[in-house]
Chain A
Amino acid sequence: MNQQPGKLGIREYVSMVILMVGLKATEDTPAALYNMVQNAAWMIPILSAGIFFIPLFLLIKTMSLYQEKNLFFVIQKLFGKYIGFFVCLLIFIISSFGLSFDSRTYTNIIRVYYFKTTPVLLLYALLMTVCAYGAKKGIKHIGSVAYLLIFSIILSLFVVFGLSTQDSNIQAVFPFWGTGRLEILKSSAQRLSLFVEFFMLTMLVPFFTSSKDFRKGTWIAYIYVSIQISAATLFFICLLDHSLGEMGYPFHTAIRYISLGSYIPNIEIVFFILWVMASFIRFTVFLYINALMFGETFHIKDFEFLIPSLATIYLLIGSIPETPLQVGIELKPFIATTAGLLFTAVSIIVWLTALLKGEFKHAKNKNNI
C-alpha cells in the first residue's frame, strides 16, 4: 500500500481537533475539575487556555521558522542529535501512556453504561482495531471523516445541553469563586494538560497545504474547544450540582437522565452512537500522531506500517490497570500533570533555544534578502 501523503485543509483540521480535544467535555474531566474547585470549575478551561496560550504561541512562532517541518524535526534541529533524540523519545513515551490510559477510560465508559457484560478486553480491542484501521488510512481520510461527523456531533452535544437545562438551576454556579480565587488559579495551572493535544498536533504541520492554514486552524479550534469544555462543565454544574463530584462520567449520566417528553423518554442511544464515533476519531488521530512521532524519532519512513503494532502495545499497556478507578484517580492525573508540565517546558525551551541561537534573526535576514 503506497500512500500519497495527502494534504490537509483547514476545515478538516479544525473538525479533527475539535473532536479530539473537545471530547474531553464528555468524559471524566468535568468531574475532576469539579473536585478541584467545586462550582467554579467552569473557569478552569478558560483560564488554562489563557495560560497555555503563551507556550503554544511561542512554539508555533518557532515552528514557523521552519516551513513544512514538524515538531520533532525542529526539536532535533535545535537541540542537536543526542539531546533532541532523548527529548523526542520522552515526549513519545509520555503521549503513549496518555493514549493508553485515555483509551482505557473510554472503554470503561462504554462498558459501564452500555455493554455491561461484555469483557473489557474485547471492547478495548475493538476500539483499538477500528482506530488502527482508520489511522492506517492516513491523515487525509481521518480529516474527511472528522469533517463529515463534526456537525452532527456538535449539534447533538448542544441538544444535550439544551435538554439538560430543563432540570438545571443556574444558581448552582454560586458562590461565584468556588473554593477561592487563588485555588482556581492554582488548579488552572495544574490543568494545562487539557490542551496538550495542541502541542502534539504540531506534528502534522507538513501535511498542510500552507502553514498559515495550520496556524489559523489551531487558533480557531483552540478558542472553540476551550469554550466548549467550559460550557459543558457549566451545564453539568447547573444540572448535577454537588452530585457532579461523585459522578464518574457526567455526560453519560446526563444523557440517560434527559428525555424528549414522556413519549420518548429514553434517548441516550442516539447520543451514544455519535459519541462513539467521535471517540474513534479522537483515538485515530492520537494513534496516527504517536506513530508519526515514533517514525520521526527512529527515522522510519513508512511509519504507517507501525500503526497496528503500536495499537497492540497500547492495548496491552491500557489493560494493565485492574480497575477503572485506578486509571481515573491515580494514573491519568499523574500522566496528565507530567504531560502538561513537560510539554509546556519543551515549548518554552524550544523557543528560548531558537532565540539564543539567533534563528529568528537569520529568518529576518533571509526575508530581507
Chain B
Amino acid sequence: MQKTKIISRILLLFVIVFSLTGCWDREELEDRSYVIGLGLDHSKHKGKIKVTMLLANPEVGSMQGGGGSTEKPREIISFDANDLIVAKVTANAIISRLISYDLLKIIVVSEEFARDPKFWNIISDVSYDKEIRMNAYLAVSKEKASEYFLKNNPKMETRPHKYFQYMIDHGIENGLIPDSTLFRLFRTTERGTDLFLAMNTTAVMEKHPKFKGEDEYYAGQVNASGELDDTQFIGSAVFWNGVMIGKLTGQETSIINTLDDTTNISDFLVNIPNPFPGIRKSFAVRVLKREKNKVKMNLKGPRPKIFITLPLNFDIMSNPSMVDFSKKKNREILKKEIARHLKKENEEVLKKAQKELKGAPYPLSFYARKYFGTIQEFEKFNWAKSYLKADIYVKADIEIVDYGKKAKKVGK
C-alpha cells in the first residue's frame, strides 16, 4: 500500500513537471529571431509603410574565448507592409526563425516620415502589441531608416543589441540625447500639454560640417575622422501631438535635460566662457545636479510668470588662466560668470521653444498643475497656449565643490 502511494505521488509529480512546458505558448529560444531595431519609412505604395528589421544573431559574441560561430552578427531586411504587427509574418518569408519583438530596443523613424501626420497613427500600434515593451526608444534619423540600419556598422560593438544599449545609455547620461522611451512618448502625447523630444541620429556624416562652439551640433555634424563608424547620436527631434515639428542641437538638448527632473541625467562636462584674461577663451567644468529644480509660477494675469531655480554643483576641471582660487574675489568672479552664462543659455533655449517650437520642451506643465484645484480649471487655463505668453526666469543656484587639484599657480 505504502509503495503504491509513493509511486503514484512520484507519477503525479512527473505529470505536473511535464505540464510546465505548456502547449500553446511554448517558446523555443532556438526557434526565435529577435528584432532589436525597427525602422519605419514612407512606402512608394499608397497607404503602406516600409518596415526595416534589424535582427540580432544571439550566437555571436556569446561564447567566451573563441570557438564561436563565423556567422554575421546581424541581419537586416526591409519591405513594404500595412503595419508593423503583421510585418512580423511577412518577414518570415525571408527569415527562417519566428520573428519576435520581445527584445526590441529602438524604433528608428526617418525624419520625413516623422513629419507626416500619419506617423502617430502608425506608431500607436505599438501600444497595442503585446510583445513590444514600453522601454524601447524612439529615434529619428535624417536619412531613411532602411538606409540608417545598413550604414550603421559599428566597428567595436558588433552585437547590435549591446551597441544600441550602450550608445543610448551613455548618450542619455551625458545629456546629449533625450530619454525618449515609448513610455514617455505615449505619456507626453496623451497628456497633450508639452512637447516630446526623441533622440536624433544619423549614419551619414555631413560632407563639410562647420566647426561649432560646444555641442551645438545636429546629428551628422560632428566632424570626426579616423577609422570609425559614421553613426552619431546627438540632439533631438521635437514632436508635438505625435508629429515632428523641429530639431534641437546637442547642447540645447543637454540644457533641457538639465531642466527636466524626470530624466536620468548624470554628471556631464561642459565648457564655460573664461572670465579671466588669457589666451584660451573657455574652461572645463563638470556639472552635477544637486537636487530637483525648484519651480515657482505666477499664473494669474495675462502673462504668466515662471521662475526656475537650478541647483547645480560644479567641479572646475581646468584652469587655463592659472587663476589663484584661494582668493575670494576670484571665486566670486567665477561664480558670477557661470551663473550669468547658465541663465543666458537656459533662457535662450526656452525662448526658442516658445517662439519656434510653440511648446514646453519638457513636462513643465506638471509644475503648473498644483496651482489649480480641479481639472476643469486647469483645462480652462490651457497650458499649451498660456505657456507661449509666459515670461520665464531661470536662476542657477551654484555651488562650486571643487576647484581642481592645484590650488596655486605653479611657477613658469
Contact = CB atoms under 8 A, between A and B. Distances in A.
Given A256-B133, A262-B169, A242 B187 contact: yes
Interface in B244-271: 261-262
Given A175-B369, A179-B374, A179-B375, A265 B135 contact: yes
Nearest to B368: A174
A175 B190 contact: no
Interface string B370-390: 101111111000000000000
Interface string A110-137: 0011111111001000000000000000
B191 interface: yes
Nearest to B105: A265
B369 A171 contact: yes
A39 interface: yes
B374 A167 contact: no
A257 B363 CA distance: 20
Contacts of A353: none
B367 interface: yes
Interface in A244-273: 246, 253, 256-257, 259, 262, 265-266
Interface residues of B, number: 30
Interface stretch (B22-30, B227-235, B311-319): B22-30
A336 interface: no
A334 interface: no
Contacts of B370: 171, 174-176
B376 to A, nearest CB: 7
B183 A175 contact: no
A169 B22 CA distance: 39
Contacts, number: 78
Given A112-B130, A119-B24, A171 B183 contact: no
A112 B261 CA distance: 33
B373 A175 contact: yes
Contacts of A243: 186-187, 190
B25 A177 contact: no
B20 to A, nearest CB: 12
Nearest to B193: A242
B372 A175 contact: yes
Contacts of A39: 375
Contact of A240 (B23, B25, B187, B373): B187
B85 interface: no
A242 B376 contact: no
A117 B373 contact: no
A171 B23 CA distance: 45
A38 B165 CA distance: 35
A138 interface: no
B392 interface: no
A169 B363 contact: yes
Contacts of B377: 175
B388 to A, nearest CB: 21
Given A118-B23, A257-B183, 10 more contacts: A38-B375, A116-B130, A167-B183, A171-B369, A171-B370, A175-B369, A176-B373, A177-B374, A180-B374, A253-B134
23 contacts: A39-B375, A118-B23, A118-B24, A118-B25, A167-B262, A169-B366, A171-B369, A171-B370, A174-B369, A174-B372, A176-B370, A176-B373, A180-B374, A241-B191, A242-B191, A242-B192, A243-B186, A243-B187, A246-B190, A256-B133, A257-B183, A259-B135, A265-B135
Interface of B: 22-25, 130, 133-135, 165, 169, 183, 186-187, 190-192, 261-262, 363, 366-367, 369-370, 372-378
9 closest Cβ pairs, A-B complex: A174-B369, A171-B366, A118-B24, A174-B370, A175-B372, A242-B190, A115-B25, A117-B24, A242-B191
Interface of A: 38-39, 112-119, 122, 167, 169, 171-172, 174-180, 240-243, 246, 253, 256-257, 259, 262, 265-266
